[in-house]
């Protein structure tokens, strides 16, 4: 767990550096080696690591627009994920998906950029496991801002009524971009949403990876044993802006300071020290994580960019009328503006 | 362009208590694309409402408030997110006037951001003009300059019908997404309206008609400048509204040039390009010497830069199409 957490933290620190390259002094979202939006998960690591510690490769995970810490903990190929974020041909999605749309079928991981969109497919994966009589489970991660979305409610109901092996994990960082939780949601505890659907709702406070691990163990075990879904909410903190470039003008300083003071990584370090794990051991794990991250980033940057013609491939698995779905000559010529 | 939009919204809100704004991050943030920047200070959280992430709920609530006689301006942050609220948009907002035999009207404005060019991939870069214009019952507005953005917004808020107001992110003048110089036009301080259904001939020319909208107005104008150096004189028409569509201006121009190029950042098939060419063909096939369309090929918008550049038509692609119809 500690390994996953520090790997995720280090990974995102490095992504942040790479992302800012070419975007300074004045921030231009389309400039630099990593264009587009980038949502970093610093402060969310405890939930990804604590939950995924109970998962196998054949368990399905759907993550939202802030996916890296979950991907790391689920065992997504770090090098190919990085190549994808850099828009390279050998990336997980051949450069077509980018950071919000990562797919790694080898470990049954997917994420998407539409709020609560991952909930129904997780229910579907759980349905498939149940129909096939396997003991695989599915986990959908979502933010606390996503729990007002219709797709989430419909998924809770469907999972509950069919007793499906799925766990919904709400990462409550108190903010949905600029909207504080209390202004848009009437319950303080998102796990209370479980009440109307006849499934257990559990909340874990304060970025505590060990407590998350325990609660998730119970929820995943319940699903695996055929006892149905659980709604688990984890208090995390957003240590930076919603996306890179978000100046957070709407956010009170006190709130940002509180987020910084409550760090899941520091907390697990303290816990491990209490358990008698010595500093050297932790330092060794950190070093390993750092070199793994560095290797992934270096590898990704050496990878080729996709050939423009590849834009026409992959629309269909079974292409309509030949190798590509659309005749490239019918589209626009390449451009540079 | 964003400031011009906001000026119009503020003026309408001052004039009419029934006008209010709701959407995600429209209050303290001022809209992710600055479309409501500064409104909170003047009007407060009651009239500039942040809402839960629940598009079905709040867009549908907009429909209900409009039917109750208010004039809501509701923001769908990215056009790409319409899917989660499609029913309220298509089956309610668009159809209630008709289904009620005119007994009900829905004076609501749905604002939404469109367009790519910054590598945000398939769920945040679509343009979807065709999708919204295809279903009857909604007026569809696409400003390309600050002047039009303000005038069209005044018209939209005052209109008794549902209006979808689609603004291109790249034209808003955001610090973090530089705009081309074209949209920064002068904007009169006083109120004025730009009527729906009046296309704007942005550049006159006799050799070919280029019809387009949104960001691609500026790409087409750049292409026309390049073509002028080669001795090709392209007319560039900015549609400004898709519904209603100014058929007359387009047909007049095609009658003059005989050559039509339609440029669209939306998908090629079943969309604006096919519609305009069909219009010209139906009206006067004999007047047409050549047609060409330039649009996004039928692929979801890819992430990597070389891939997105390949599919999103640039001014070079527009120029090439004009050359080919003029040849
Ligand atoms: C259907 C839909 N509506 C709006 C958005 C825009 N959006 C992206 S992230 C976000 C906030 C999400 O907040 P939360 O679920 O709490 O997750 P967090 O970003 O805090 O991790 C919003 C509104 C979207 N992607 N999809």
pLDDT digits (tens, 9 = 90+) for B148-203: 999 999 999 999 999 999 999 999 999 999 999 999 999 999 999 999 999 999 99
Window B:171-210, CB contacts with A under 8 Å: 175-178
| Chain-chain contact of B118 with A330 (C-beta, under 8 angstroms) | no
pLDDT digits (tens, 9 = 90+) for A122-165: 999 999 999 999 999 999 999 999 999 999 999 999 999 999 99
Q: Which two tokens stand for residue A111?
A: 């994420």
Q: Which CATH number fits domain A2-303: 1.10.760.10, 3.40.50.11390, 1.10.1760.20, 3.40.50.970?
A: 3.40.50.970
What pLDDT, in 10s, does the model give residues A268-290? 999 999 999 999 999 999 999 99
Q: Which residues from B are below 8 Å from A89, CB to CB?
A: 304
Task: End-to-end CA distance of chain A: give it in Å, rounded.
Answer: 45
In this complex, the residue of A95, A149, A325 whose CB is nearest that of residue B302 is A95
Residues of A in contact with B316 (CB under 8 A): 333, 335-337
Q: Helix B146-158 crosses helix B2-15 at what angle (to 10 degrees)?
A: 30
pLDDT beyond 60 at A333: no
> Across the interface, do A96 and B219 touch by the CB < 8 Å criterion?
no
* pTM of the predicted structure, to 2 decimals: 0.95
Determine the distance in angstroms separating the CA of B298 from the nearest CA of chain A, rounded to an integer: 6
Report the 3 state secondary structure along B182-237. Answer: CCCCCCCCCCCCCCCCCCEEEECCCCEEEEECCHHHHHHHHHHHHHHHCCCCEEEE
Low-confidence ranges of chain B (pLDDT < 70): none
Domain ranges of chain A: 2-303
Percent of chain A at pLDDT exceeding 70: 95
To probe the interface with B, which of A30, A37, A39 has the most B CB atoms within 10 Å? Answer: A30
Which one of B28, B53, B88, B169 would you pick to mutate in the ligand 1 pocket, going by the greatest count of ligand atoms within 8 A of its CB? Answer: B53
A329 and chain B in contact, CB less than 8 A: no
Residue of B nearest to A186 (CA): B52
> Atom of ligand 1 at shortest distance to CA of A147?
15
How far, in Å, are A41, A92, B203 from residue A164 at the CA level?
29, 29, 61
Q: Which residues in chain B have their CB less than 8 angstroms from residue A307's CB? A: 306
B45 is known as an active-site residue:
no
- Report the nearest atom of ligand 1 relative to the CA of B25: 23
């Amino acid at each position: 767990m500690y390994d996953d957490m520090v790997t995720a933290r280090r990974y995102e620190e490095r992504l942040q550096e790479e992302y800012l390259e070419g975007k300074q002094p004045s921030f231009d979202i389309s400039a630099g080696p990593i264009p587009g939006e980038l949502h970093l998960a610093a402060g969310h690591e405890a939930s990804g690591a604590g939950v995924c510690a109970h998962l196998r490769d054949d368990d399905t995970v759907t993550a939202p627009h802030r996916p890296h810490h979950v991907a790391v903990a689920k065992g997504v190929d770090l090098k190919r994920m990085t190549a994808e974020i850099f828009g390279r041909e050998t990336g997980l999605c051949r450069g077509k998906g980018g950071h919000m749309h990562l797919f790694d079928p080898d470990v049954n991981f997917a994420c998407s950029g539409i709020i609560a969109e991952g909930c129904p497919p997780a229910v579907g994966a759980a349905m498939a496991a149940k129909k096939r009589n396997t003991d695989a489970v599915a986990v959908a991660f979502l933010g606390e801002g996503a729990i007002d979305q219709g797709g989430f409610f419909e998924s809770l109901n469907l999972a509950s009524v069919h007793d499906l092996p799925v766990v919904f994990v709400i990462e409550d960082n108190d903010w949905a971009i600029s909207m504080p939780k209390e202004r848009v949601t009437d319950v303080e505890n998102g796990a209370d949403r479980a009440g109307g659907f006849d499934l257990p709702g559990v909340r874990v406070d304060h970025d505590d990876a060990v407590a998350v691990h325990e609660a998730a163990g119970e929820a995943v075990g319940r699903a695996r044993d055929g006892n149905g879904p659980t709604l688990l909410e984890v208090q995390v903190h957003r240590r930076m802006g919603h996306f890179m470039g978000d100046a957070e003008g709407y956010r009170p300083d006190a709130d940002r300071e509180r987020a910084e003071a409550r760090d899941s990584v520091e907390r697990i370090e303290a816990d491990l020290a209490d358990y008698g794990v010595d500093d050297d051991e932790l330092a060794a794990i950190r070093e390993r994580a750092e070199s793994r991250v560095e290797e992934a980033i270096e590898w990704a940057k050496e990878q080729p960019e996709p050939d423009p013609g590849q834009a026409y491939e992959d629309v269909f698995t079974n292409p309509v009328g030949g190798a590509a779905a659309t005749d490239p000559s019918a589209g626009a010529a390449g451009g540079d503006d | 362009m964003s400031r011009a939009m906001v000026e119009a919204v503020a003026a309408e809100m001052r004039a009419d208590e029934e006008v209010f704004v709701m959407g995600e991050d429209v209050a303290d943030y001022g809209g992710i694309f600055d479309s409501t920047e500064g409104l909170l200070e003047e009007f407060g959280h009651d009239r500039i409402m942040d809402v839960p992430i629940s598009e079905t709920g709040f867009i549908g609530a907009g429909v209900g408030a409009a039917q109750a006689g208010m004039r809501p301006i509701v923001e769908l942050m990215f056009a790409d997110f319409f899917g989660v609220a499609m029913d309220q948009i298509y089956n309610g907002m668009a159809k209630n006037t008709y289904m009620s035999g005119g007994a009900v009207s829905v004076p609501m404005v749905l604002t939404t951001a469109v367009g790519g060019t910054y590598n945000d991939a398939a769920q945040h870069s679509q343009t979807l003009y065709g999708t919204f214009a295809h279903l009857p019952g909604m007026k569809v507005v696409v400003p390309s300059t600050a002047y039009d953005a303000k005038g069209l917004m005044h018209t939209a808020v005052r209109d008794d019908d549902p209006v979808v107001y689609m603004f291109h992110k790249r034209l808003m003048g955001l610090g973090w997404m530089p705009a081309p110089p074209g949209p920064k036009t002068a904007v009169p301080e006083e109120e004025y309206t730009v009527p729906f259904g009046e296309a704007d001939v942005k550049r006159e020319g006799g050799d070919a008609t280029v019809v387009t909208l949104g960001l691609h107005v500026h790409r087409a104008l750049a292409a026309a400048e390049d073509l002028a150096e080669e001795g090709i004189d392209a007319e560039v028409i900015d549609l400004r509204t898709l519904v209603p569509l100014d058929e007359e201006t387009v047909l007049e121009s095609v009658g003059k040039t005989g050559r039509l190029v339609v440029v669209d950042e939306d998908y090629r098939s079943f969309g604006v390009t096919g519609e305009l060419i069909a219009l010209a063909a139906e009206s006067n096939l004999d007047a047409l010497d050549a047609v060409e369309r330039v649009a996004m090929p039928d692929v979801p918008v890819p992430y990597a830069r070389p891939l997105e550049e390949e599919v999103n038509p640039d001014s070079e692609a527009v120029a090439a199409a004009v050359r080919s119809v003029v040849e």
